[in-house]
């Protein structure tokens, strides 16, 4: 099977959001993995859930453990440029030819599932299973596995990890997880396993109480980040980086990370505490933690390109991430005018996200995207919501034209912010990297 054929085949399977309405979806995943030889039982793992920051935290853990000399698998979602990003070893995505070969190997099991009582696995479940097979065959020392949605019935919730992480709990995927923080926290706590340490950076009292109760019921040793670590901001050595000291009972870690957004220091503290909870044979030394985080790359997470005008890409597809983006912008670009290029997926809290961004010195250009299984909120509707909040906004339907317009409208010191759905960030980031030259004045 060629890679293009593999991608085309994948896109014929059920969307992730639709598949999660299947009441027996975790049983379906277990049945599918049995047909594949239960590869998830062949490697050690860390399970990372939460509303926001789980991809960053998983990537940080992987970087730390790689710095300690381990062969580290990393499964995160969604991907930005290529579906191969969902299965990485020591930061390197699986080769396209290997991806296609593994998917071809899986086709008989997929066909058997199609004929069985559970039905065919979803797009997400197939990619998770492919990652598990890849990690098993490559004999990784440990793998970081990011939860898709929720926890209790998520397709990744078939592993028995060394440590579990819940970054935080906020409002997202309410149509699946519930309408209250308590309901959402209860679902996410489904990844807590008996006697397995759990680390959380959650701060909402209602969510934290549910996490504490769930941890007690499973005899899972609980570490709460803001109780177990002290984070102190330090002067960064370069303009587009951040420095901090994370002090735990074990050590004081002086970190310089090539990342924007002070929220990343909380993610770093979460990753550090999770790595400290690993067995001694796996746990990194403090110097390896510092080294691993010093070269970290997080595409699409406040990813900044200094130019005239500067451009930043940040996936902010829910209220929690929108709030983190605002704090990051206020910290890093105080006093500078911002021009947003934004498209948000249907089902998200558009009103809440735009309300969080109101009050920034910003102009908005709303656009759209066209991808299988997912629709964007109509750009005109988003613009009307923005105007209701007193935010200047316009509509440019074609995404590339929207980014070109933003760059043309921006003055030298302005910052163009590409944000919202992963789909719009991925599309425009790829286009920008192919053609980063600034444009002259452009009016739309």
Q: Are residues 271 and 335 in the same domain?
A: no
Q: Do 216 and 328 belong to one domain? A: no
Domain count across the chain: 2
Residue 441 lies in a domain: no
Domain end marker among 294, 325, 356: 294
Q: What is d(CA 412, CA 409) in angstroms, rounded to the nearest whole number?
A: 10
Average pLDDT over residues 241-258: 95
pTM over 0.85: yes
CATH value at residue 383: 3.90.190.20
pLDDT digits (tens, 9 = 90+) for 179-208: 688 989 999 999 999 999 999 999 999 999
Residue 307 and residue 436 in contact, taking contact as beta carbons nearer than 8 Å: yes
Based on the fold, state whether residues 277 and 327 are members of the same structural domain: no
Query: Domain of 192: which CATH number?
Result: 3.40.1190.10
Share above pLDDT 90 across residues of the chain, in percent, rounded to a whole number: 76
Q: 191 and 172, same structural domain?
A: yes
- Shared domain for 344 and 278, answered yes or no, is no
Q: CA-CA distance, 228 to 220, in Å (whole number)? A: 16
User: What does the pLDDT read at residue 16?
Assistant: 57
For the chain, how big is the Rg over CA atoms in Å? Answer: 21
Instruction: Report the pLDDT value the prediction gives residue 288, as an integer from 0 to 100.
Output: 98
State how far the Cα of 264 lies from the Cα of 53, in Å rounded to an integer. Answer: 8
pLDDT, greater one: 63 or 117: 63
Could you tell me the pLDDT band of residue 162, with boundaries at 50, 70 and 90?
very high
Q: Residue 349's CB: how many other CB atoms inside 10 A?
A: 16
Residue 443 resides in a domain: no
For residue 78, being part of any structural domain is answered with: yes
Res. 421 pLDDT band, cuts 50 70 90: very high
Give a yes or no: residue 407 inside a domain.
yes
Q: How far apart are CA 293 and CA 165, in angstroms?
A: 18
Answer yes or no: is 178 within a domain. Answer: yes
pLDDT tens-place string over residues 46-63: 999 998 899 999 999 999
The answer to whether residue 232 scores a pLDDT higher than 60 is yes
CB count, 10 Å around CB of 160? 13
What is the C-alpha to C-alpha distance for residues 193 and 203, in angstroms, rounded to an integer?
21
pLDDT grade for 81, boundaries at 50, 70 and 90: confident
Mean pLDDT, to the nearest integer, of 329-356? 92
Domain boundary among 259, 276, 294: 294
Q: What is the pLDDT of residues 290-321, one digit of tens each?
A: 999 999 989 999 999 988 899 999 999 888 88
CB 348 within 8 A of CB 201: no
**What is the predicted pLDDT for the residue at 34?**
98
Q: For the chain, what is the mean pLDDT?
A: 91
What pLDDT score does 178 carry?
Answer: 55
Domain hosting residue 112, numbered range = 3-294
Burial label, 34 (beta-carbon count in 10 A; 0-12, 13-18, 19+)? exposed
Question: Is residue 391 over pLDDT 80?
Answer: yes
**pLDDT value at position 186?**
93
Least confidently predicted of 47-51, 149-153, 202-206, 414-418: 149-153
* CA–CA gap between residue 246 and residue 51 (Å, rounded): 23
Residues 316 and 173 in one domain: no
Closest CA to 99 of 80, 126, 119, 120: 126
Sign, Cα dihedral of 162, 231, 202, 356: negative
What integer is the mean pLDDT of 428-440?
75
Quote the tokens at residue 288: 């390896």
pLDDT band at 287 (very low <50, low <70, confident <90, very high): very high
Residues 285 and 358 in one domain: no
pLDDT exceeds 90 at position 263: no
pLDDT at 17: 52
Of the pLDDT bands very low, low, confident and very high (cuts 50, 70, 90), residue 105 is very high
Same domain, 76 and 168: yes
pLDDT above 60 (res 23): no
Residue 436 confidence (pLDDT) above 90: no
Question: 134 or 372: whose pLDDT is higher?
Answer: 134
Q: Is there a single domain that holds both residue 235 and residue 327?
A: no
Judgement on whether residues 263 and 383 belong to the same structural domain of the protein = no
CB 313 within 8 A of CB 325: no
Q: Is residue 219 part of a domain?
A: yes
State in Å, rounded, how far the first CA of the chain is from the last one: 44
Are 283 and 403 part of one and the same domain? no
Per-residue model confidence (pLDDT) at position 441: 36
Higher local confidence (pLDDT), 172 or 263: 263
pLDDT value at residue 440: 41
d(C-alpha 335, C-alpha 267), whole Å: 26
Instruction: Say if 442 falls within a structural domain.
Output: no
pLDDT, position 21 = 52
Tell me: pLDDT of 336 over 90.
yes
Name the region of 336 (left: φ>0; alpha: ψ -120 to 50; beta: rest).
beta
Instruction: Return d(Cα 7, Cα 281) in angstroms, integer.
Output: 38
Of residues 228 and 434, which shows the higher confidence score? 228
Q: How confident is the model at residue 347 (pLDDT cuts 50, 70, 90)?
A: confident
- SS (HEC) of the chain: CCHHHHHHHHCCCCCHHHHCCCCCHHHHHHHHHHHCCCHHHHCEEEEEECCCCHHHHHHHHHHHHHHCCCCEEEECCCCCCCHHHHCEECCEECCHHHHHHHHHHHHHHHHHHHHCCCCCCCHHHHHHHHHHHHHHHCCCCEEEEECCCCCCCCCCCCCCCCEEEECCCCCCCHHHHCCCHHHHHHHHHHHCCCCCCEEECCCCHHHHHHHHHHHHHCCCCEEEHHHHCEEEEECCCCCCCEEEEEECCCCEEEEEECCCCCHHHHHHHHHHHHHHCCCCCCCCCHHHHHHHHHCCCCCCCCEEECCCCEEEEEECCCHHHHHHHHHHHHHHCCCCCEEEEEECECCCCHHHHHHHHCCCCEEEEECCCEECCEEECCHHHHHHHHHHCCCCEEECCCHHHHHHHHHHHCCCCCEEEEEECHHHHHHHHHHHHHCCCCCCCCCC
- The confidence score (pLDDT) of residue 226 equals 96
User: Same structural domain for residues 216 and 308?
Assistant: no
Q: How large is the average pLDDT for residues 70-77? A: 97
Residue 73 reports pLDDT greater than 60: yes
More confident residue, 236 or 156: 156
* Residue 429 resides in a domain: yes
Cis peptide before 82 (omega within 30 of 0): no
Nearest CA to 281 out of 141, 181, 135, 411 is that of: 141
Q: Name the domain boundary from 294, 324, 355.
A: 294
């Amino acid at each position: 099977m060629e890679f293009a054929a593999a991608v085309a085949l994948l896109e014929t399977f059920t969307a992730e959001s639709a598949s999660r309405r299947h009441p027996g979806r975790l049983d379906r995943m277990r049945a599918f993995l049995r047909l594949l030889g239960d590869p998830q039982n062949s490697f050690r793992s860390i399970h990372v859930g939460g509303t926001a920051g789980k991809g960053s935290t998983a990537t940080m853990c992987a970087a730390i453990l790689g710095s300690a000399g381990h062969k580290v698998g990393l499964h995160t979602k969604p991907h930005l440029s290529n579906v191969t990003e969902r299965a990485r070893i020591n930061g390197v995505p699986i080769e396209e030819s290997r991806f296609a070969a593994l998917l071809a190997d899986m086709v008989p099991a997929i066909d058997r599932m199609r004929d069985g009582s559970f039905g065919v696995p979803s797009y997400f479940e197939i990619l998770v299973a492919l990652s598990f097979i890849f990690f098993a065959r490559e004999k990784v020392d440990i793998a970081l596995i990011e939860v898709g949605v929720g926890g209790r019935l998520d397709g990744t919730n078939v592993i028995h990890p060394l440590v579990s992480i819940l970054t935080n709990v906020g409002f997202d995927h309410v149509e699946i997880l519930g309408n209250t923080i308590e309901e959402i926290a209860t679902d996410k706590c489904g990844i807590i396993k008996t006697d397995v340490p759990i680390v959380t950076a959650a701060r909402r009292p209602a969510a934290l109480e549910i996490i504490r109760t769930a941890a007690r019921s499973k005899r899972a040793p609980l570490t709460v980040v803001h109780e177990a670590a002290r984070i102190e901001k330090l002067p960064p050595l370069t303009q587009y980086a951040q420095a901090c000291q994370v002090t735990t009972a074990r050590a004081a870690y002086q970190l310089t990370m090539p990342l924007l957004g002070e929220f990343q220091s909380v993610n770093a503290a979460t990753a550090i505490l999770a790595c400290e909870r690993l067995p001694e044979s796996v746990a990194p030394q403090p110097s390896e933690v510092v080294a691993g985080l010093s070269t970290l790359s997080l595409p699409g997470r406040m990813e900044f390109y200094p130019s005239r005008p500067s451009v930043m890409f940040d996936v902010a597809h829910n209220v929690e991430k929108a709030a983190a983006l605002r704090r990051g912008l206020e910290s890093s670009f105080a006093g500078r005018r911002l021009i947003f290029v934004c498209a948000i997926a249907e089902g998200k809290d558009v009103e809440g996200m735009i309300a969080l961004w109101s009050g920034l010195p910003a102009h908005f250009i709303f656009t759209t995207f066209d991808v299988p299984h997912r629709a964007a909120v109509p750009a005109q509707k988003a613009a009307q919501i923005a105007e209701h909040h007193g935010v200047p906004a316009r509509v440019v339907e074609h995404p590339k034209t929207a980014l070109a317009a933003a760059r043309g409208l921006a003055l030298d010191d302005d910052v163009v912010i590409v944000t919202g759905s992963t789909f719009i960030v991925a599309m425009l980031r790829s286009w920008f990297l192919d053609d980063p030259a600034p444009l002259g004045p452009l009016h739309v």
